[in-house]
Amino acid sequence: MIYSENILVCIVIPLLISALFTRKGTRRFLIALAVGMISCLLSAYITGFVQFLTDTTPEKMSAFYAPIFEEIMKLMPLLFYLFVWSPKTSAMFSAALGLGLGFATFENCCYILSYGAADLSYVMIRGMAVGIMHLVCALALVFGLTSARRFRVLSLPAVIGSVSLSMVFHGLYNMLVSKPGLSSVFGYAMPVITAVAIYFPFRSLIDHEAESENKEPKS
């Protein structure tokens, strides 16, 4: 058993204090990182609670149902940020990246503390796969949300549709890596291949958004 709340406090406090000494973009990223970690802990609580209610094994819960709760917990802060502050698209992307990274970092910390970090190759594979998987999920989510908002069609179906895509990607990964063998190799490779495939379109999209935001007249 690990004390995940204590680990969270230990990691988040320096992040929040350093946020006080930074400006705009960096501060946003640091706060998003901390919120991602908190979301990870909250989703673990919810997953544990549902597991208790439905009398499911932890392995089955993690392989088949945890992605649903985890992606919803990632969606909530993003929606809050979107509706309360109405940030620019580039700021949304930066917040989503921070959120995804924070989530993945805290999940990896807890995993390593629970199961040990003696095998460096496995830790590296896990770090690459899980870290990139959460990043890809967060990007898919924020791209759907910002596209819908840009054309003023941000509705409940569009939000659910966007989060469904990240849930499915996450769920497919979890299911593939739930058993050792060839399937887990595919599972670990999937986020890396997807990240490579979407790198150039996303890079040009973020650059395009930043350019158009710079061109906008300041009110």
Where on the chain is the footprint of other proteins (CB under 8 A)?
A: 60, 63-64, 67-68, 143-144, 147-148, 150-151, 153, 155, 157-158, 160-165, 167-169, 171-172, 175-176, 178-179, 183, 201, 204-205, 208
Nearer Cβ to other proteins, position 126 or 170? 170
Q: For residues 114 and 183, which CB has a smaller minimum distance to other proteins in the complex? A: 183
Least Cβ distance, residue 20 to other proteins (angstroms): 36
Instruction: State the nearest-atom distance from the C-beta of 149 to other proteins, in Å.
Output: 9
Compare residues 31 and 132 and give the one whose CB is closer to other proteins.
Answer: 132
Cα separation, 143 vs 194, in Å, equals 15
CB 31 within 8 A of CB 14: no
Provide, rounded to whole angstroms, the least separation between the CB of residue 57 and other proteins.
Answer: 11
Q: Which is nearer to other proteins, 35 or 135 (CB)?
A: 135
Return the amino acid letter for 56.
T
In whole angstroms, the minimum distance from the beta carbon of 199 to other proteins comes to: 13
Classify 87 as helix, strand or coil.
coil
- DSSP assignment, residue 155? -
Q: How far is the CB of 208 from other proteins (least distance, A)?
A: 8
**Of 33, 50, 36, 90, nearest in space to 214 by CA:** 90
Closest to other proteins by CB, 18 vs 204, is 204
- Of the candidates 150, 113, 132, 116, which has an alpha carbon nearest to the alpha carbon of residue 196? 132
Helix 89-115 with 4-20: angle, nearest 10 deg: 140
Crossing angle of helices 156-177/66-85, nearest 10°? Answer: 150
| Distances 97 to 35, 74, 140, 178 between C-alpha atoms, Å | 11, 11, 11, 25
Please state the closest distance from residue 106 (CB atom) to other proteins, in A. 23
**How far lies 116's CA from each of 2, 41, 59, 120, 205, in Å?**
12, 19, 18, 10, 39
For residue 154, give the DSSP letter: -
Q: Which residue lies nearer to other proteins by CB, 113 or 179?
A: 179
